[in-house]
Amino acid sequence: MIPVPSALRVAIIGAGPAGIYAGNILTRLVQEAGHEVAIDLFDSLPAPYGLIRYGVAPDHPRIKGIVKSLQEMLETGTTRFIGNVTYGTDLSLTDLREHYHAVIFATGAILDAPLVIDGIDLPGSFGAADFVSWYDGHPDVPLEWPLDATDVAVIGNGNVALDVARILAKHADDLLTTDIPASVYAGLAGSPVTDVHIFGRRGPSQVKFTPIELRELADIPDVDLVVYAEDFTPDSHSEQLVASNNQVKIMTRTLNGWLTKAPLGASRRLHLHFLHAPVEVYGDGRVEGIRFERTEHTGDGGVRSTGQILDYPVQAVYRAVGYRGSALAAVPFDAVRGVIPNDGGRVLDAVGQPIAGLYATGWIKRGPIGLIGHTKGDALETVTRLVADLPVLVAVGTAVGTADAILALLDERGVEFTTWAGWQALDAHELMLGSLDEVTPGRERVKVISRAEQVAISRTEALLTL
């Protein structure tokens, strides 16, 4: 049996699905080995759940339902949630090394991947990640968003692009049953948008959407779907994809079905364009349009330029071409890939050697690919490595003081950290706000945006008087 202290102490940085799954799996594997483990789950936000709370569109309650299983994991009591703590400022890597045998980084990827074309930084050009944070009520994003465009372009052919386009095209009243805050509703209600265009550089069979997200576009009230026959050019590779992949078959059938449907005269339109490669965002001082070069299939899944240039007059552009991880203080970082360099979750130094006691999981480990469900297998890989390293961790780690020493250190530094009990108070408060909403009876929740208010509710561990 591996010799370990009475309780292995592990810090996980990031309380989204990746961090919670890692904590749950680590608990199980260490206990199965006959040992005890104490895990502290830190997050820079006052509330847990990360991407689920602040990265999933409010009109996707099916995905948000994952919170229920994450909550069950945290309620076991083996993982302690400590929120409103910023790694690198409130706590350093040195601090964590002194208090824990191992550290797992699960900070995700929250920045927009760059799109390097002329004019992309003009006023009126936005990153999808920032917009998603706004409509999800992230506490670090301004309350107001400039929604003054009648014609909008969304660049990207993944689910985030669909989310952004759907929220822009939807009438605000159709979101009242969700948990959107009043400021988000007000912004969307005042939007003059009439046309939202989604652009992808490849063809309809190469999209990165999932079928359910694509098909729900047809259910948006008072929004016509528009697709274009010239984007559906025959291609042997696309035909092979349709024949061999049921998901591609469903989406291709859905898109082709929309070709035969005439617009019904809705007040808003959602356009899907394919075989368009972005070239330039243009305008005099702000976005006035976007320029594309028409592409064509190469027969092997790729596309090539045709030389045909197409301009679309729009007043706003949203790039949804992927997410990117952020560098962490005192931790190696691959600036090209936007990840922590690692081998199966073990963090690697500059010469490719594992750094004892440091691990990574989730998008900061593998990049922003895969759905939330993939995070479980990813966490299992990382945690399996950590458990195999137990003899080394015990030899290297110090883990001084008691389990509450880290809380005393945060108190000493004036950090207003939040706890699981605090989250339960905030959760109950938001649910109460939803039940008292007179505009939308039966509304489940109204999300609190202000960080200060979240912290105040959480730290009193009681509902505020309305």
Tell whether 45 is in a known binding site.
no
Q: Is 156 helix (H, G, I), strand (E, B) or coil?
A: coil
CA separation for the pair 409, 388 (Å, rounded): 30
- The four Cα atoms 264, 268, 274, 276 give a dihedral, to 10 degrees, of 140
DSSP state letter for 155: E
Cβ atoms of 418 and 82 within 8 Å: the answer is: yes
* Residue labelled with tokens 């945690």: 383
Cβ atoms of 410 and 392 within 8 Å: the answer is: no
Q: Which of 397, 463, 401, 458 is nearest to 433 (CA)?
A: 463
CA separation for the pair 205, 296 (Å, rounded): 13
Q: Which two tokens mark 274?
A: 């394919």
Cβ atoms of 322 and 113 within 8 Å: the answer is: yes
Tell whether 202 is in a known binding site.
yes
Q: Beta partners for 130?
A: none
Q: Which of 20, 15, 10 is nearest to 45 (CA)?
A: 15
Tell whether 372 is in a known binding site.
yes
Tell whether 213 is in a known binding site.
yes
Sheet strands side by side (includes 151-155): 125-127, 316-319, 151-155, 195-199, 268-273, 223-227
Cβ atoms of 162 and 251 within 8 Å: the answer is: no
- AA letter at 142: P
DSSP state letter for 157: S
Cβ atoms of 2 and 390 within 8 Å: the answer is: yes
Tell whether 370 is in a known binding site.
yes
Tell whether 383 is in a known binding site.
no
Tell whether 201 is in a known binding site.
yes
Tell how strand 289-297 and strand 276-282 pair up.
antiparallel
Tell whether 363 is in a known binding site.
yes
Tell whether 18 is in a known binding site.
yes
Per-residue burial over 61-76, b = 16 or more CB atoms within 10 Å of its CB, e = otherwise: eebbebbeebbebbee
CA-based angle 228:234:239, to the nearest 5?
A: 115
As annotated, the binding site for FAD includes 18, 51, 363, 370-372
As annotated, the binding site for NADP(+) includes 157-160, 201-202, 213, 370
As annotated, the binding site includes 18, 51, 157-160, 201-202, 213, 363, 370-372
